[in-house]
Amino acid sequence: MFCRAITAALTAGLASLAVSAAGTAQPPKSLSESVTRHVRIDAPRLALTGLQLIDGSGAPARRDQTILIENGRIRAVGDSGDVTVPEGFEVVSLDGRTAMPGIVGLHNHLHHPGVPVSHFAAPHLYLAGGVTTLFSAGSAAPMAELNMAEAVVRGLGPGPDMRIAAPYVTGPEGNWVMPRPASPQAARDFVDYWASAGVSGFKLYRHVTPPIAAAIIDQAHTHGLTVTGHLCSLTFHEAAEMGIDRIEHGLISMSDLVENKPEGECVSTLSSLTEADIDGPAVGAVIDTLIAHDVTLTSTLAIIESHFAHRPQGESRALDMLSPVERAAYDARQTALAERRDTTRFTPALFSSILAFERRFAEAGGRLVAGPDNGRHIVAGYGDQRNLELLVEAGFSVPETVQIMTHNGAVELGLGEDRGLVQAGYRADILILNGDLAADPAAIRSLEYVFRDGLAYDPASLAETVRGEVGLR
């Protein structure tokens, strides 16, 4: 979509401003104790040696690599025998570890159901899970989120580089706490206001009407901002024709296959998806339309999996982060899932179709990005890690999956020249995993260091700080 080209041009043209506003250069000179308590390595010049590297480009893993970091950026990367460590660099030997870029999450909320802004738990857990840049993909309290993002830039608290979305936009039948512009002009005024407030994009929600959706998309593009959607009232084809930049959740939100679907109305898609031939021409036509209009898809497999009783549910790490009320809600959901197991339409076959759809889209040339859509027992950071495992299950190789979750996301945000790759010149956002990720995707759960802007954070320390806090603050 042309909007991404505008965003990239703005990013390049306003480089000095971006450095100040988004923390893309050196870390702040003064960090609060709430940040420094989690920092394990803070040196202006570092040499990380002996690593396996999956660099985010989709290329195969490379063994015995050395990464030089200087003042928050990557100075050099290469075979350890070819990279000379300059005098004055602190050497950190990391034999047996894997390095990959920091995760760039595209559906990474900063709220939790019942908590309009998760100002404490979310930024800590995203960073603990390896997310170094994110887009919030719909905000319940956007001004609070904008202030939270600024606080991280100023060094007042730990967290990723957070790109904030405007409030969700829905229609008359939609969620009553979301804006419902009454006319196309009101929709344009809404976009102008939130663009001036500093948001990075907009999100259409399930019941949005076609005239309002078209106005939001058109006006956002005049500001060089993108629009995504959790669709239902609009088919993928209709949204693509309007110029939407991105669509969330993949197959599960696609209403294109609903027979005689009323125009502009949100109806259940489950029956049509259960009967769909993912390899057939109808699905292929939808994919062709998306690719022809340069529409990106956001994979949110972690939250989708939570609807399927036959699939793994809450892992112990995530459950430990839930507040007592949220843990009780999880237990109640699991009981309800078990009771519906034999009658549910969320079947193993449907889950396989969801995976296959994302694989077919990417194989056809579509850009796939990822985010956990945290909620229920899918918590910030750990949900991103689960996405990696599920994308590998869908048939992507580990390097392909890393590319989806890092560089693809950076490109989508107009940041592809700055992050999402472990290459010379890029920001030093690097994850160090204790294990061989190429051989075992579960190694993503064994984070040892999270480098953001060249500072190495301790994931365990970040997570321990918010144990039992998800759903509270």
Q: pLDDT tens per residue, the chain (473 residues)?
A: 444 443 443 333 333 333 333 333 444 458 999 999 999 999 999 999 999 999 999 999 999 999 999 999 999 999 999 999 999 999 999 999 999 999 999 999 999 888 898 999 999 999 999 999 999 999 999 999 999 999 999 999 999 999 999 999 999 999 999 999 999 999 999 999 999 999 999 999 999 999 999 999 999 999 999 999 999 999 999 999 999 999 999 999 999 999 999 999 999 999 999 989 999 999 999 999 999 999 999 999 999 999 999 999 999 999 999 999 999 999 999 999 999 999 999 999 999 999 999 999 999 999 999 999 999 999 999 999 999 999 999 999 999 999 999 999 999 999 999 999 999 999 999 999 999 999 999 999 999 999 999 999 999 999 999 999 999 99
Question: Which amino acid makes up residue 363?
Answer: E
189 exposure class (CB count in 10 Å sphere: 0-12, 13-18, 19+): middle
DSSP calls for 117-129: --TTHHHHHHHHT
Report the chain's terminal Cα–Cα distance, integer Å: 37
194, 168 Cβ separation under 8 angstroms: no
Encoded tokens for 54: 């999956």
pTM, entire model: 0.93
Give whole-number Cα distances, 31 to 27, 51, 98, 372, in Å.
8, 29, 28, 29
Q: How many angstroms separate the CA atoms of 164 and 108, rounded?
A: 10
Instruction: Report the pLDDT value the prediction gives residue 113, as an integer from 0 to 100.
Output: 85
Q: Interior CA angle at 347 toward 168 and 358, to 5°?
A: 55
User: Which amino acid is it at 19?
Assistant: V
450 pairs with which residues across the strands?
431, 457
Residues 6+ apart with CB under 8 A from 286: 236, 237, 254, 256, 257
User: Per the structure block, which two tokens stand in for 358?
Assistant: 């994302």
Question: Is the CB of residue 376 less than 8 Å from the CB of residue 303?
Answer: yes
Q: What pLDDT does 27 receive?
A: 45
Q: How many CB atoms lie within 10 A of CB 194?
A: 26
Residue 13: its pLDDT value, please?
35
With 0-12 / 13-18 / 19 or more C-beta atoms within 10 angstroms meaning exposed / middle / buried, residue 87 is exposed
Of 310, 204, 302, the C-alpha closest to 247 is: 204
Helix/strand/coil for 360:
helix
Length of the chain: 473
| Pairing between β-strand 455-457 and β-strand 39-41 as defined by DSSP bridges | antiparallel
Pairing of strands 98-101, 430-433: antiparallel
- Per-residue pLDDT at 187: 98
Cα torsion 345, 275, 388, 164: sign: negative
Query: Distance between CA 20 and CA 13 in Å, rounded?
Result: 14
Which residue reads 């190495």 in tokens?
A: 456
Q: Using alpha carbons, select from 269, 264, 232 the residue that is nearest to residue 248.
A: 232
